[in-house]
Amino acid sequence: MERIDIAPGLTLSRLVYGMWRLAEDTDTSPARIEAKVEACLEQGITTMDHADIYGGYTVEGIFGHALKAAPALRDKIEIVTKCGIVAPAGRHAATRVKHYDTSAAHINASVEASLKDLATDRIDLLLIHRPDPFMDADETGPALDTLVKSGKVRSVGVSNFRPWDFSLLQSSMEETLVTNQIELSLIHTPAFTNGDLAFLQERMIAPMAWSPLGGGSLFDGSRPELLAALKRIGTEQGVDETAVAIAWLLAHPARIMPVLGTNRLDRIARIADAAKVEIDRQTWFELYTIATGKEVP
């Protein structure tokens, strides 16, 4: 599995496994989580994507129980987590209005809670989950710098930021924001042309792509022409349609890191097939044309 240099001394696996749906699984026992992580590791997927809010602030704790049961796993993986969304659930049950909080106090409290729940002494990559319209970059930026200096967080980045949000936060920081995790798939293509990817490419920052299979909507019958094309290309190359959809992201020069969310061990075991798929320029545009519903001008 290819690895992406993200910060000095820190690499991420090109394919990342996401934990958003972890609490939806019928089995959330430590043994089941360990089996998923092992299935990822067998494919060379070492990077695990979390957020404090997943599962109503429960998923990090579920994962932490598994790490306590199998502590040797910790040094085999990189943990990404996010902070900044405050919703009325779990430890924020008393919240009156769902909101964003990028204050130093909230970020620091969130990191402490994540470290405790994840049963770890360090977060490899901390992301600000959403752009905060009330953000004071002169407070948020130095708070992130201080966390990196403390060693509690090895690197920092953002998620769902537009270029201007990214530049504003970066302008108040000494550390470099190392990624932007954005929605990107054959179901959601705006970033290819709205400047989001171009901004990151210009700065040689590798993006992470969330819901790279459109959260499963590629396969639910709503996009029959797209699914048929993915299946045909998959048959030609001896892989399944999931691998082709991921390969379409991997083929792009921006060094996109797809974050996959399946709960099924059999699907995890086949994810790395995406690296075997050849997507040439015309095949890329064939899928893009079907995805956007119009020929390029």
Q: Which residues are catalytically annotated? A: 54
Identify the residue among 20, 63, 161, 248 touching ligand NAP (CB under 6 A): 20
Told to check if 267 binds ligand NAP by CB under 6 A, we report: yes
- Length of the chain, please? 297
Stretch that binds ligand NAP, among 3-11, 26-34, 170-178, 254-262 (CB under 6 A): 254-262
x-marked contacts with ligand NAP along 171-200 as a string, rule CB under 6 A: ----------x-------------------
Q: What is the DSSP string of 185-207?
A: SSS--GGGTSSHHHHHHHTT---
Told to check if 159 binds ligand NAP by CB under 6 A, we report: yes
CB of 210 to ligand NAP, least distance (A): 3
Give every CB contact of residue 26 below 8 A, 6+ residues apart in sequence. Answer: none
Give strand pairing partners of 177.
Answer: 156
The answer to whether the CB of 126 falls within 8 A of the CB of 175 is no
Tell me which residues in 30-59 interact with ligand NAP (CB under 6 A): 49
SS3 123: strand
Identify the residue among 260, 277, 279, 287 touching ligand NAP (CB under 6 A): 260
Tokens of 180: 């932007």
The residue with its CB nearest to ligand NAP is: 261
**What residue ranges in 138-283 does DSSP mark as E strands?**
156-159, 177-183, 208-210, 257-260
Nearer to ligand NAP, 150 or 194 (CB): 194
Q: Around Cβ 147, how many Cβ atoms within 10 Å?
A: 21
Told to check if 162 binds ligand NAP by CB under 6 A, we report: no
Can you tell me the distance from the alpha carbon of 89 to that of 59, in angstroms, rounded to the nearest whole number? 12
> Which CA distances in Å does 164 have to 98, 184, 185, 191, 276?
24, 19, 22, 14, 36
Stretch that binds ligand NAP, among 91-99, 110-118, 198-206, 253-261 (CB under 6 A): 253-261
CB of 241 to ligand NAP, least distance (A): 6
Can you tell me the distance from the alpha carbon of 175 to that of 162, in angstroms, rounded to the nearest whole number? 19
Name the DSSP class of 153: B
The answer to whether the CB of 286 falls within 8 A of the CB of 280 is no
Tell me which residues in 216-235 interact with ligand NAP (CB under 6 A): 216, 219
Nearer to ligand NAP, 203 or 270 (CB): 270
Nearer to ligand NAP, 199 or 210 (CB): 210
Total of chain residues touching ligand NAP, rule CB under 6 A: 24
Query: Which residues form the interface with ligand NAP (CB under 6 A)?
Result: 18-21, 49, 159-160, 181, 210-216, 219, 242, 259-264, 267
